[in-house]
Chains A and B, each alone.
Chain A
């Protein structure tokens, strides 16, 4: 049986549908990403899988164990890094790690192989209180604490949120190395660019999964033609393009705007030039995960 199986999970908080008919499986050694903004339902799903919250409906299994009936066994087998920093701020780096090893009846030494790579990066600060570490360091320590009992499944809830691009890259490099140890990892992120670092992803919004597949398939199946457009006055360009009757969507994407339109690009070029734009560039662009996500979001909003 696959190490993580989620079948038709529903969860309601008052009037809010936090999770709506969520189903997916994660294969052995797979790095599976839940991609979506705050409020998509990612943390709720983690809490259900970590046996901290009951679903209203549906079924979920971790290592073949039921998240409701077998919660005690599951808790011994999984490593869970919550979205909110949950280590002891006034214990040192070393004390935190030692604490988590002890409550799982193990020692740092016993499973040191698994955490060596990561722990060596924070070892110079091992006598510093966890609360005084930088954001990236905190996340590395939290990952060590989640791994110290050699879990057979890893749940990481937004490990890179609020972390700078360098630390984010280092964190993902560590996950790639952990994959080699064949531990299945379920990881969530609001950063769309991180989707490409996962084997498969579920794109989530408003408690529902909009699409599940490998990142490359998701992007290659996206059929809408995208144009990258820029000029010397980007703010006016956004407004002018949105006012154009044959432009469907227009969003900033780095130094360009990404535009979907039925208009002929040459017609758009001449009308923008007439409108006084200089430094115009109009060229075809390759869609990324974020383009697909935004397109799915708009479709979801229209369907409601």
Chain B
């Protein structure tokens, strides 16, 4: 049996009296595309920050890539990739400079960086744009480049926080092609999105409401469970139920 990429048991984070993440427990398998959904303020970002080793939990257990999130945060950071809509690349560095910068941060050697740069530019058809400032690239290209850079050090897990917000419909799907491709190579994908059609592309989905995981299953099973035709209906039923 393959090792789980992420396991959490009663993972909790309190800020004063407020419980942002309330005893969540779930496992994510290696190579799985796991959709982490929830309304604004449901506690997704807090949970994600704990899993990335950036925020110490109040209680509960979790292991990411086999490492403990209390004591082995540095090992975790080396084995994960991260990308969000808000933070991805340095706009006033060129495409190649961004690749070199992140490759360096993740400890790749110069020859590895050279190899990765050539491979990445070729796969994204960006050979002509290597020396262009990232600022000058269309948003969709930036996001695809940001994803490729987030996995440049061959992490075993990549965290994607609303990676496709505002992106045009064709690029959004090309972005998911990259996600599928990485997952097929065995990379675990942990992704948040507000596009409910994208929830359908995940192997399994969890839906958080007020700090708790209210549902966790495959999209097909969730739709069946809630008697819904789309994930959007499932989401509305769950998130509405609280108020």
Contacts and interface: CB of A to CB of B under 8 A. Distances in A.
B236 A169 contact: yes
A297 B194 contact: no
A192 to B, nearest CB: 6
B168 A37 contact: yes
B139 interface: yes
Given A135-B40, A163-B194, A293-B169, A238 B177 contact: yes
A37 B141 CA distance: 13
B166 A190 contact: yes
Interface stretch (B123-131, B146-154, B196-204): B196-204
B38 interface: yes
Interface string B161-183: 01001111111010011001101
A298 B167 CA distance: 15
A151 to B, nearest CB: 26
Nearest to B231: A254
Contacts of B195: 191
Contacts of B184: 235
Contacts of B166: 37-38, 161, 190
Contacts of A234: 180, 201
**From B85, B169, B177, B183, residue with most partner A Cβ within 10 Å:** B169
Contacts of A290: 169
Given A38-B139, A38-B167, A294-B170, A167 B40 contact: yes
B170 A39 contact: no
A300 B85 CA distance: 26
Contacts of B85: 162
Interface string B225-243: 0000011100110011000
B173 A162 contact: no
Contact of A238 (B167, B180, B200): B180
A162 B197 contact: no
Interface in A232-288: 234-235, 238, 251-255
Contacts of B138: 39
B220 interface: yes
B165 A165 contact: no
Given A235-B184, A254-B230, A162 B240 contact: no
Contact of B169 (A192, A238, A254): A192
B216 interface: no
Contacts of A161: 165-166
Contacts of A36: 168
Contacts of A255: 200, 219-220
A134 interface: yes
B39 interface: yes
Interface of A: 36-40, 134-136, 161-169, 190-192, 205, 234-235, 238, 251-255, 290, 293-294, 297-298
7 contacts: A40-B168, A165-B239, A167-B40, A191-B195, A235-B183, A255-B220, A297-B169
Given A134-B39, A192-B169, 20 more contacts: A38-B139, A38-B166, A39-B138, A136-B39, A161-B165, A164-B38, A164-B40, A164-B42, A164-B194, A165-B196, A166-B235, A166-B239, A169-B236, A190-B166, A235-B181, A235-B184, A253-B197, A294-B170, A297-B168, A298-B170
